[in-house]
Structure 1
C-alpha cells in the first residue's frame, strides 16, 4: 500500500522534507502544500536581490543548474504534487486529513495522510503602534516583500528610509537599501544592535555602520506618520520625528504555529512546536521542521528558537526520512551559528556569548584577539574574535567574530570545535591548511586559542576594554602604556591619558614607569601583540600588576582621538 505523505509549507524545510521522502520511497504519494505562489525560495537571498547583487528574481527559486522549482519541476523531476496558492486551513488528527483552500479560486478540498510534516515557517513581528498599515511600510519576510523593495530600488524615487530593528535582517536590509542610494536611519529599541553578540562586539559593528547610515539605539517607534494613507515619517518614543517615504520593519519573527496549535499539537515555552530528536511532534504521525519549531541547544540543553535556513533544511531532511523509514535518523539540535554581511564586514557567532554563558551558569574564561586573517603582504584584513571556554575543562563554549577579514572561515572552525567538544588544548596545535593567500602561518583561530591558553596558565593577564573604561570612569589610578611607534600614535590614539613608550625602547626607559611596582599597568598596541610582549618584559622586571588590553586599539569600541 502506497504511503500518503503531506507536507505543509514550501519554503526551505518543506521542500527538503518532501524531496527526502521521495528519495526514501519511490512509490509514496507525496503532496506539498504552499500558501504562496513560489516554492523553495532562497529567503536568505532576499536582501541581495533587493540590493542589486543580481537582477533575475528566478535565481532565488532555481536549482544549481538554473531550473526554476515550480510545480512542473516538482512533478517532472521528483513526482511530487506541489499545490501552490493553496492554504491548509485545518489538520484533523482523528481522521488524519487536512482541509485546504485554493486562495485564487476559493475552491476547498480535503486530503488524507499517513504521515504529515508541518513546515509553516515563521511570520514577521510587527510593532503594536499606530500607522503600521500605511503604504510604504514593509517587512523582508516574503518573496512579495523582496519584489516590493526591489521595485523601490529600481524606480529610485525613495530618498529616505528607516529600518526598524537592528538584528540580522535589519542589518542586511540597511546594506541593500544603502546600495540603492537611499539615506538610511536604523532604529533599535535595545541598547545595542545584533543582540546575539556581547555589547562590546556589537558596539564595534555600530561604529562601523555609522560610517554608512544613521544609527539610533535605546529608542523605539511610537507611531508611523501618514498622509493620505502613505507613510511620511516615523515618530520615536522620545518624540523625535524622522521624515521618510519607506520603513522596513525587522524586529524578528515568531513561529507560525496556528495550524499546529488548533490541532492540539504541543507548543513549547518558547512559542514553537515541540519536537523530539526525530522531529516528531506530540502526535506520532505528525512531524515538524524549520522555523515553526523550537529545538534543543546542544550546549545548554534548553529549547531555543533558531530560524536559520540551513537548520531548516537539515531538520526537513531528518523529518522526510523518518516519515518513510520510521524514526531512524536524528537531529541533535543547534549551537546557533549565524553570520551576516554588512558592506565590507562579516559578523557572526557560534555557540554561547558571554551573556548567554552567564545565564546558563557556566564558569568560563574569555579573551579578545584582534589580528589579521592573512599576512600583510597578501593584503591581510582585520579580524576581531572573542573566544569563550569552560574554565575547568577548557571546552570551547563560543566564539564571536567580526571585521573585514574572512569571518566565515573562523566561525566554521569554531563551530566544528564546539560540535566536536574540543578544548583549548586541542585547538592550540590545530593542523589547519596554511599558505599566505589563505591564512597566517599561525591561523587567527589558533592564535586566539594560544592567547586563551596563556590566560588559563596565568602567563597572560588580560583586561577588557569595558573593564578599563569602567575603571577610568570610576576614577581608578591606572598607568596606561601604549607601546606602538610614534607615527602610529600620531595617527590615532585612545585619548584616555595613555603614555607612549615604543616597545623597542621600553627596556631603556623603564625608569619612566611608576616607582610603585604594584601599581596597575595596562599595556597595549594596535592589536596588543606588542602589548603582551611589553607585559611579559615588565613582569620580569618586578612589576606585579601588569595587564594587557585585550584586542588593543582595534578592539576599542569607544571614541578615539585622531
Structure 2
C-alpha cells in the first residue's frame, strides 16, 4: 500500500512560489500541490514590466507565457503540472499547530482551510510610498505588479500626459524613466539622497546622470518629495523639500520595497532585523516544515557575511528551485547567499554591478581596500567598439575581488557576469590577470576589459602605479592645490575637448624631448592622463624613469571625468 502523498501549500504565485511548486512536481508526481495567489495572474515576468509599459512589445500575455507561448494561468498549472492554482485568493492565517492555511476567495468572500505537510511562503514585497500629503491622488502609480504595468501602458497609449516625475533614482526608477521617455513624456527623476543608483560609487553615478540628461530627462538629487499637489482629486504636480514645485500629471513611485512578512510574523516565525523572514541555507524558516523565498526573505552576503535583502527576480527563482527540491528531499539543496549582482538598460547605456562598491565595503568594515577605475573599448575600434567605464574593488592583503561596477554603451553584461563568477569563486587579482577568456575581434579585445582592470589593479597593489580618482583630481583643482596636470593626448584630441583644469598638453610622443617643461622639483605632484589613461600610465613610467617621484595617473582619463568640460 502506497503512503499518503505529501501535501504542499505555496503562498504566493509570482516567481519563487511557482518555481518551488514546479520543482517539487518534477521530483514527485504524486504530491498534492496548491498555490494561493492574491493577484489574478501567475508566474509573471515582472522585470519585463517597464518594457511593456514603454511599448517595446505590445502583447501583455508575453509576460505570463511559457517559452512555447502558453499562458501560465490556472488551467495551465492544472493540466501541465497538476498543480491547483487558486488565483484572486488571499492567505489570511497560518495555524502551525494544526498545519493549516486559511484563505479567502476575494471575489466571493468564501473562505477555505487547506492542510499542509510542507508550507512555502513566497509573499513578495510591497512598494514603499512617501508618507506625504496628497499620496492618494489619482495619477500616482508604481511599477510593482502587472496591474501597475497595465496602468502605465494605458497612460502611454492614451498620449495625454505631457510631464511626469519618477520618485526614486534606483534601477526601477530609471527603467521607468526610459519607458516614459519612449512614450514622449517629459520626465524628471527625483532622488532624495545625494546620488542616483546607490550601488555605484560617486564617479560612475555622475557619469550615468550626465548621460541621462543628454536624452532630455532631468534629475534632481538631494531633494525629496514633500507633497503631491492636485486639483479635483487628480495629480497636478509635486512639491519638493526645498519648496520647488514641478508640474506633472503622472508620478511613478520607485523608492524601494518592504518585505511582506506580516503573515509569517503572525504565525510566530522569526523575522530578521531588516524586516524579512529569516531563513537558513536550505530556505527553511524557524519552523522546519515552513520554507520561504523571494522578496520576503533576508539573504546572506557571500562577501561580508551580513544579512541583506536582495529583491531580484532571478534570485527568487533560484531560491524557489532550492525550496522545491527540499520539499521532497529535505536538506538536499542549499542557497548559500548572494553577491548582489544586477544590471539595467538606460537608453543606450547599460549599468551593471556585482559585489560591493567601495563605499559599501568601507561601511561593512573593510577599510583595507584598493580600487581602480578603467575606461576602454569592449571590442576593437575597427569592429566599432564601444566605451566601457569600470571600477573594481579588491582587498589589499589577499588580492580578493570584492566588487565590480561597469557602465557604458559597450557590452557590460559579459564583463559583469565574468566578475560575478570571479567574486563567487573568491578569485584574486592574480587569478584574473591571467584568465583564459574567449577572444575574437567581434567579441573582445585581445586583453579583455576585465583582464585590463585586473592588470591595473595589480600594478597599484605592487606599487608600480600611483592612481588618483577623478573625484580627487577635481577636489585638488577646486582647492587650488600645487599640482602639475599633464594631458598626454594629441593636439587634435586636446582641441576637440579639454577638461579646463589648468592642464598642460605634452603629447606622449613628444614627452621625452620636452622634459624641461615639467616642474624642476622632482617631489612636486604631477597628475597625468589621456583619453582613458593608458598613455597616461606609460608617461608616468617615463617620468618616474627620469626621477620624478610623485607622479599619479588619473584613472579612467577623460572618459571617466563626470564634471563640466571645455569644448
Tell me the SS of whatever aligns to 1:341. strand
Map of 1:153 onto structure 2: 156
Tell me the SS of whatever aligns to 1:339. strand
Per-residue deviation, residues 334-388 of structure 1 (Å, max 9, x unmatched): 0000111101111021011101111222211110000000000111000011001
Per-residue deviation, residues 212-239 of structure 1 (Å, max 9, x unmatched): 2011000000110010010001111111
Out of 530, 540, 549, which is 1:535 matched to?
540
Give the distance between the partners of 2:419 and 2:136, measured in 1 at CA.
Answer: 43
Out of 87, 92, 112, which is 1:109 matched to?
112
Give the distance between the partners of 1:52 and 1:245, measured in 2 at CA.
Answer: 19
| Correspondences of 1:407-556 after superposition (within 5 Å) | 407-556=412-561
Tell me the SS of whatever aligns to 1:190. coil
What displacement does 1:472 show? 2.0
Map of 2:273 onto structure 1: 269
Map of 1:312 onto structure 2: 316
Confirm or deny that 1:229 pairs with 2:220. Answer: no
Confirm or deny that 1:257 pairs with 2:261. Answer: yes
Give the distance between the partners of 1:532 and 1:411, measured in 2 at CA.
Answer: 25
Confirm or deny that 1:292 pairs with 2:316. Answer: no
What displacement does 1:488 show? 0.8
Map of 2:130 onto structure 1: 127
Out of 246, 251, 263, which is 1:247 matched to?
251
Give the distance between the partners of 2:246 and 2:527, measured in 1 at CA.
Answer: 43
Tell me the SS of whatever aligns to 2:298. strand
Structure 2 residues without counterparts, runs of 5 or longer: none
Map of 1:34 onto structure 2: 37
Give the distance between the partners of 2:566 and 2:55, measured in 1 at CA.
Answer: 37
| Correspondences of 1:35-74 after superposition (within 5 Å) | 35-74=38-77
Confirm or deny that 1:78 pairs with 2:81. Answer: yes
After the TM superposition, list the runs of 4 or more consecutive aligned residues in structure 1 that deviate by more than 4 angstroms: none
What displacement does 1:199 show? 1.2
Give the distance between the partners of 2:385 and 2:194, measured in 1 at CA.
Answer: 32
Map of 2:343 onto structure 1: 339
Per-residue deviation, residues 267-287 of structure 1 (Å, max 9, x unmatched): 000110000000000011100
Give the distance between the partners of 1:364 and 1:65, measured in 2 at CA.
Answer: 48
Tell me the SS of whatever aligns to 1:290. coil
Out of 6, 22, 34, which is 1:3 matched to?
6
What displacement does 1:552 show? 0.3
Give the distance between the partners of 1:443 and 1:85, measured in 2 at CA.
Answer: 50
What displacement does 1:475 show? 2.1
Give the distance between the partners of 1:374 and 1:52, measured in 2 at CA.
Answer: 31
Tell me the SS of whatever aligns to 1:389. strand
Confirm or deny that 1:303 pairs with 2:333. Answer: no
Confirm or deny that 1:327 pairs with 2:328. Answer: no
Structure 1 residues without counterparts, runs of 5 or longer: none
Map of 1:355 onto structure 2: 359
Map of 1:179 onto structure 2: 182
Give the distance between the partners of 1:361 and 1:165, measured in 2 at CA.
Answer: 27
Give the distance between the partners of 1:106 and 1:431, measured in 2 at CA.
Answer: 61
Aligned length: 562
Per the normalisation by structure 1, the TM-score is 0.99
What displacement does 1:102 show? 0.6
Cα RMSD, aligned residues only: 0.7
What displacement does 1:473 show? 2.1
